[in-house]
Structure 1
Amino acid sequence: MGLTMKEKQALAREISKRYRKAGKKGKTAILDEFVQNTGYNRKYALHLLANWGRTELVRLAGRVVKLKADAFKKRKAGGGRKPVYQAATIKALKLIWEFFDYMCGKRLSPFLREQMPFLNPCKEFGITKEVKAQLLAISPATIDRKLKPERKKLELKGRSATRPGGLLKHQIPIRVFYAWDERKPGFFELDTVVHDGGNASGEFCCTLNATDVYSGWVELRALLNKAHRWVKEEVSLFPSQFPFPLLGIDSDNGGEFINYQLKAWCDEHRVQFTRSRSYHKNDNCFVEQKNDMTVRRTVGYYRYDTLQARDALAEVYRHLCPLLNYFYPSEKIIAKERIGARVKKVYDKPKSPYRRLLESPDLPDIFKNELRRRAARLNPVKQKRLVNHALMALFELQSQKSLAASALEDV
C-alpha cells in the first residue's frame, strides 16, 4: 500500500528544502527517490519540489500580493456560494415527493410544473409564493441531488411465479418486438403479479397488469387466483372500460394467458393475440417494468389470499390507475445507438400517458375528447388521498389476518 496524500505532502515539504540547495547530480538523485516513493509523474514531481514553499510578490490591480506555493487547503465550513433553494422549498419538495410515490427528478420536475394549480392550494405542502417560484424553476438534477439522502430505503426484489401454458402455444404467434408502425395506441402487453407473500403453496390473489406499448397507459385488475376464467373475464371488459380501442394483446407463456378461453375471445373480437419467447423476459419489457413501479411499490409483498383482500386490492387499483395514467409522467425510449460495446439510449421528455395519447396522430378525435372529459373530473391530490385511504383499508385487513394467525399459534 502506497503513501497517503498527507504523507506525500509532508514528504514534499521536507525534501523540497534539500532539493533546491543540492547540485545537479544531487537533484537528480533526490528526484529519482521522490518519484519512486510517491508514484508522481517526473515532470510534476520536478515542478513540485522546485516550487514548494516559495513565495513571490506580484502586482495585481495596483496592489502587491504575496503568492505562496503550498498544498491545497480545504475551505472552511460556511464559505462558498450561498444555497439557491431555501429550506422551505426543500421541505415542500420532500413532502410532495413522498406523497406522490417517490418519483425521480426527471418525472417529478414536469409533474410539479403541470400540477402546480392543484398542489398550490394544499396547505399540507406549505407552498408560499416564494416556494412556488422555486419549485417551478428547480431542475431534475437538483431534485435528485436534494433528495439523495432520502432515497436509499426502497429496494426489494420480486420473484417469478409464471407457470408454462399448455399445447396451445404453437397456435399463438411469437412477438419479439413491436415494429414502428405497430407502436400506436391499443397494443397492450399483459402480465400477472402474484401476491403469495413468499409462500407459493395454496391459492392467493394476483394482479393482472395491462400496459399500452405506445403511451404507457396502465390498467390493473385484482384476481382471486390465476384461473383462466378470471383473466378472460377481465380482458373481455377492457373494450368497454378503456377510453381508446383495444387492438392487440401480447403476453408471456403463463397458463393464465395461453388457454382456449382467451384465444377464442380474441379471435371472436378480432383482437390480435401474440406471446413472447420462453425465458425471454425482455420481450415484455414494457409491462415488466410497470410490475415494480405500479404494483410492488404500492401494495408491497404481502400475501393476499381472501375474497376480502381481492376486493380491497380492486379498490386500490380503481383509484390508482387514473392517478398513474392522467398525472404521473414517465419517460419513453425513442432511439438506441450502439457505440462499440456501449448502447446509447435516447429518451423523450417525461409525459403522462394521457398527454401522449392526446398527441398521438393515430388516435381519432372522438377518443381524445373522451379522454379530456374523464381528465376534467380528476384532481391529483384528491386522487392520491383516495389511493392512500384504500391502501390503509388493505393493510388493515392484512394486519388483522396477521394478528389472528399469531393468536392461533399461541393456542
Structure 2
Amino acid sequence: MNEARLTTIEQIEQFLTASGSIEFSAADDNGERYWHISRVLARFDYPGRNKRERGVLLRYLQHTSGYSRAQVTRLVTRWQCNRLAAVPLVKRYRAPAAPFARKYTAVDVALLVEMDQAHEDVCGPAIAHLLQRAYRDYDDPRYERLAKLSVSHLYNLRKSAGYQARRRSFTKTRPVCNAIGVRKAPGPEGRAGFVRIDTVHQGDQDGVKGVYHITCVDAVSQWQVEACVEGISEAFLLPVLALIIDQFPFVIVGFHSDNGSEYINHHVASLLEKLRIEQTKSRSRHSNDNALAESKNASVVRKHMGYDHIPQAYAKPINAFYQDTFNPWLNLHRPCLFATLITNHKGKTVKRYKPQEVKTPLECLTQLAPLGRVTFKPGITLEALQIQARSQTDLAAAQAMQSAKRELFAGFVKPKRRA
C-alpha cells in the first residue's frame, strides 16, 4: 500500500471513514509493519501533534498495521524513546531457527510403557529406580537416557499423547461399600407391601433451602403416600417416615430407596429393623430399580406442587394437606396405569399398558385381597376402605382436593428476592 499522498490529518480521517470495512495485511517477515509505523510517525511529526490528532494517527496505524490498540501504543512509546538516540524501530523477537530437540524420544516412551505394564503402574519413584537399575546394574544401553529421568518428568511422559496412544486402561465404576441395606431390586412377586421411596426438593432461592417432598409408593398396588419435611436430616426425617409407614393400610414388608444418605444410615436402618422391614437399595448401573417412585415425582408431586420455591416453614401445613386430603384422593379416586407383561416374538418380556388395566390403587387392592396377596393392618379392612371411597364421587373428591390446594397455596408468603 502506497499511502505517501496522505499528508494531512483531515485526509487520514476521510481515509478511515471510507475504508472502515477494508482489512489490511502485511508480510511481516522483514518488519514491514514496524517500518510503516516509523514512517507515519515521522512524516506527521507525532510528538508535535495535539491529543485529538494523536488519536487519529493511532487509529490509522491500528487499522493499517493490524495490531491491537495496546500493541500500537507500546510501539509508539518505544519509537519516541528511540527517536532521540536515532535507534530504528525493529522487532525484538524472532522465531527459533529450529525447534527444540526432544530429549526423550518415542523409543524411550515405548520403554517406559513396557516397564509400567510389567509392574502394573507402581509409583513414579519406584519406576525411576527400576529404569536406573536397568542401565546401571543390568547394562542395558536402551535405558541410558531414561536412567536420568526425573520423577516429575516421568509423570509428564505418562500424560503425553505418545504414551496414552500405546497404553490406555479403563476401570469399571466401583460400588459404594456400605453394610446398610441389601443392594438388590425389590422382589414383591405380586404381593402388596414392598414400597419404594424417593425425595423431591422444592428448590432454593437466594441460598435458602425449600421444603422436601417424600414420595413412597407400593410397587404392586401403587398405593402412594406423600409427606413433606423441612430438611432431610434424621431430626426431621425419622418422625415423618414413621408417619408414612403408619398411613399404609397394609403391612410393609420391603423398603427400597436409592443410595442417598438420607435413607442409607443407621437411624433409618434401626427404625426399619424394629418394624421387621427389609431394607434394599438400588444397584449400580440399574436406573430402573427405583423408577416407579421417580415417575410419581413427576406425575404427582411436580404436577400439583410445581417447581417454585416453597419456604421450609410451610412443611407442616403441606404435610397436613397431604395426610387429610391429598393422599386419600390419590389412593381412592385417582386412576393409575398398570403394566401387563408380554413376551414378544424375540422372547423378550416387555410391558404394555392396556386401557382395561387402568384402575385406582384401591381397586388393585380389591383384586389382590382374594388372592391372599395383601395383609391388612389390624383394625383396617377392605370393606372400610371401600365405604370411605364411596362416600364421595371421584369428581367431588378431586374438587375438594383442588379447593384445599388453592387454600394451601394462598397461605404461602414467599420471601422477596434480593435486588
Give the TM-score, by structure 2 length: 0.51
Partner AA of 1:363 in structure 2: V
Q: Secondary structure at the match of 2:199?
A: strand
Structure 2: 5+ residue stretches without partners: 1-174
User: Do 1:250 and 1:274's aligned partners in 2 also have CA atoms closer than 8 Å?
Assistant: yes
Q: Counterpart in 2 of 1:195?
A: 202
- Cα deviation for residue 266 of structure 1 reads 0.9
1:214 aligns with 2:214: no
Q: Once the 2 structures are TM-superposed, how far is the Cα of residue 310 of structure 1 from its aligned partner?
A: 1.3
Partner residue, 1:172: 181
Kindly indicate whether residue 389 of structure 2 is the aligned counterpart of residue 375 of structure 1.
yes
Contact 1:253 1:278 in 2 (8 A): no
User: Structure 1 pair 303/369, CA: closer, same or farther in 2 (3 Å)?
Assistant: same
Aligned-partner Cα distance in 1 for 2:309–2:250? 34
- Selected match of 1:355 from 320, 344, 363: 363
1:267-306 matches, within 5 Å, as: 267-278=273-284, 280-306=286-312
1:245 and 2:245 equivalent? no
Which residue is 1:57 aligned to?
none
Q: Residue 182 of structure 2: SS of its match in structure 1?
A: coil
Query: Structure 1 residue 378: deviation in Å?
Result: 3.6
Q: CA RMSD in A?
A: 2.8
* Residues 343 and 240 (structure 1), Cα distance of their counterparts in 2 relative to 1, 3 Å cut: closer
| 8 Å CA contact retained: 1:228, 1:257 | no
| Counterpart code for 2:226 | L
Task: Look up the match of 1:396.
Answer: 410
SS in 2 for 1:311: helix
Equivalent-residue separation in structure 2 for 1:179 and 1:261 (angstroms)? 25
Match of 1:405 in 2: 416
Q: Deviation at 1:260?
A: 0.8
Match status 1:230 vs 2:236: yes
The alignment partner of 1:207 has SS state of strand
Q: What is the rounded CA distance, in whole Å, between the counterparts of 2:408 and 2:178 in structure 1?
A: 37
Cα deviations by residue, 1:281-304 (Å, 9 ceiling, x for unpaired):
311122111111110000100111
Q: Which has the higher contact order (CA 8 A, sep 6+)?
A: 1
Contact 1:229 1:261 in 2 (8 A): no
The 8 Å contact of residues 190 and 251 in structure 1, kept in 2 or not, is answered as yes
Once the 2 structures are TM-superposed, how far is the Cα of residue 363 of structure 1 from its aligned partner?
A: 2.2
Q: Are the equivalent residues in 1 in contact too, given 2:188–2:220 (CA < 8 A)? A: no
Deviation at 1:171, TM superposition (A): 2.8
Measure the CA separation in 2 of the matches of 1:269 and 1:168. Answer: 25
- Provide closer, same or farther for how the CA distance between residues 312 and 281 of structure 1 changes in structure 2, counting only shifts above 3 A: farther
SS at structure 1 position matched to 2:335: coil
Where does the alignment leave 5 or more consecutive residues of structure 1 unmatched? 1-165
SS of residue matched to 1:234 = helix
Q: Deviations over 1:206-251 (max 9, x none)?
A: 0111000111111000111111232221222244322211112101
Match of 2:269 in 1: 263
Q: Of residues 390, 395, 400 in structure 2, which corresponds to 1:386?
A: 400
Provide the C-alpha distance between the structure 2 equivalents of 1:337 and 1:215, rounded to a whole number of angstroms. Answer: 22
Over 3 Å counting, the alpha-carbon distance change for 1:247 and 1:352 in structure 2 is: same
Cα deviation 1:134-171 (Å, max 9, x = unaligned): xxxxxxxxxxxxxxxxxxxxxxxxxxxxxxxx988323
Shift of 1:193: 0.7
The separation in 2 between residues aligned to 1:389 and 1:186, in whole angstroms, is 31
> What's the offset of the Cα at 1:202?
3.9
Change (3 A) 1:168 1:259: farther
Instruction: Decide whether the 8 Å contact of 2:227 with 2:240 is kept in 1.
Output: yes
Count of equivalent residues: 236
Question: Matched residues, percent identical?
Answer: 23
Cα distance in 2 for residues equivalent to 1:272 and 1:200: 40
Tell me how far apart the structure 2 counterparts of residues 359 and 176 of structure 1 sit (CA, whole Å). Answer: 24
Cα deviation digits, residues 67-110 of structure 1 (max 9, x gap):
xxxxxxxxxxxxxxxxxxxxxxxxxxxxxxxxxxxxxxxxxxxx
Which range is displaced more, 332-341 or 228-237? 332-341
Q: Distance in 1 between matches of 2:384 and 2:191?
A: 18
The 3 A distance-change label for structure 1 pair 271 and 291 is same
Whole-angstrom CA distance in 2 between matches of 1:381 and 1:261: 41
